[in-house]
Structure 1
């Protein structure tokens, strides 16, 4: 009876209040910085992809989907900033809370999915050169991108529970078989969306690097570019997604053991690393540049002063070209991503 009362008491406690107001004030200012930097950066990237680079002509549909996911993530930040400045880990309004959870986890899932697809594309191009690259065939079809977004929907729905964001699951409610199964399913979805793609990413990176070592000098330029692509994805993954997943696992373990003081620290570490994960929208443009120098050159020619363009734009012979226009000026830019 006392155990049941204890669980009932736990379920009534508001675990979504920040345990340290100063911490959440600092995190809100960090998110303000991410928003101030991320909004113009992603708007400019979106503009270049649509009006200068013409992504649909340059077989960069998957890259464009990452741009869309990043932009939607940036659009969610002001709401999170408002909550953190009021020492709240989530909205007290159920509709706002569920909408935010849906948007944040859908966009993060989309970023992960398309980053992994790009890495697999480089893997097949380098390690299995000469064989039919199924990823290269699929990325020409916009329907595949729509299918990826639709596939992510059922994986995102389990996170649309207000207790999820605060890890308020196992041990917080009177345990029933239903609660135990649904809570476990939510956590499994969360962790598999990060750890399985990370294993795939590490495998692709190791195979590409090994392939690079076996190649002759004349073939190494293209392979080095492939290594930079997958390494840039590794950096994004290791910085943005992996730490918060590890922190969540630690937090859940601490809560199951009912260690109150350690829990307060674990909560702050987890929320801090979640804020760090939002830098994904700032780091992804590095991936665009490494994946496609045509995009990089289009971006430089659009936003950099004229005197810097000749120094920054790389010209490589033997590559295809794309023509982009800006007003009355026409530029022919090399395309490396094939």
Structure 2
């Protein structure tokens, strides 16, 4: 009886998660398509030094493209595809897209950090922003991190601790887990450090418009909040799943698996939140987007609420104010 009840609960869980992903896909597809359209045809990202932003949008769009397959599997009460090749391709795409999104996110945060905290010093990230080759290199460097999903002995959905493993199998699983956790924890530490330093620097600023400073602080803080919301919960759930699996606690593992899958579905909302934070933080892009897709009365209201801003990123306007104040002090 308990097994039947447990199976029924399993089916309900994945049916609910499938509809959550339907919502993410329904909202994420038009949002990311519209952002891609603006970046390529209206904003011309290569001329506005928004190459990193464009790469984040590409990563999010590829993630949205994976959702229909996940929805199909969950609708049929499957954690993964029964086709081994398709399962590996899906895991490969999820690893690659998440790594790219986080990689470009951290690079942009470092650029913001140097622009605000270390004014006057050489900003090596700014040089990277002007070179599309750097973006290509970042994508290529991410490929080795997906090797575990391409190894023939790799078992989908994490086989670590489930079976008696060969040396190669054990190394493959261990490497995959190291990649998963380091991909979240290390960038999160860097992001928190940069954000704290930026917030402290802006709070010490006394010259300039307070409204703009508050917006800049809100922006860098929201980056950490979104990162924490999307990626930290599934990381904690992954650690708990590994723990109960290695302890061979089967009942606890059945629950941990469902929690992990649910929080992974939550992490897919990153494709909805990234455009709102990283793209619309650039007021130049935001103005083009609003003028293209919003009705006239909404354009007028948004223009009035944003009066006094310039067609540059929020942190850039703040940096300019800081530079001007430094010049006066000299």
5+ unaligned residues in a row in structure 1: which ranges? 1-16, 320-333
The residue number in structure 1 matching 2:252 is: 262
Q: How many residues align?
A: 306
Change (3 A) 1:18 1:286: farther
- In the TM superposition, 1:161-176 aligns within 5 A as 165-169=156-160, 171-176=161-166
Per-residue deviation, residues 108-143 of structure 1 (Å, max 9, x unmatched): 111101111111111001110111111111111000
Matches of 2:112 and 2:155, distance apart in 1: 35
Q: Is the 8 A contact 2:148 2:154 kept in 1?
A: no
Residue 37 of structure 2 corresponds to residue 47 of structure 1: yes
Q: How big is the shift at 1:221?
A: 5.6
Matches of 1:276 and 1:61, distance apart in 2: 27
Residue 312 of structure 2 corresponds to residue 335 of structure 1: yes
Residue 67 of structure 2 corresponds to residue 77 of structure 1: yes
Structure number with the higher strand fraction is 1
Matches of 1:54 and 1:60, distance apart in 2: 9
Residue 132 of structure 2 corresponds to residue 142 of structure 1: yes
Q: How big is the shift at 1:226?
A: 3.8
**TM-score scaled by length of structure 2:** 0.87
Matches of 1:123 and 1:219, distance apart in 2: 20
Structure number with the higher helix fraction is 2
Q: From 96, 101, 118, give the equivalent of 1:106.
A: 96
Matches of 2:8 and 2:154, distance apart in 1: 14
Per-residue deviation, residues 250-291 of structure 1 (Å, max 9, x unmatched): 000000111111111101100000000110110011223453
Change (3 A) 1:115 1:164: farther
**TM-score scaled by length of structure 1:** 0.85
- In the TM superposition, 1:1-338 aligns within 5 A as 20-160=10-150, 165-169=156-160, 171-218=161-208, 223-313=213-303, 314-316=306-308, 319=310, 334-336=311-313, 338=316
Bigger drift between 155-164 and 276-285 goes to 155-164
Q: How big is the shift at 1:177?
A: 2.9
Q: How big is the shift at 1:172?
A: 1.8
Q: Is the 8 A contact 1:70 1:111 kept in 2?
A: yes
5+ unaligned residues in a row in structure 2: which ranges? 1-6, 317-330
Q: Is the 8 A contact 1:80 1:90 kept in 2?
A: yes
Matches of 2:150 and 2:209, distance apart in 1: 49
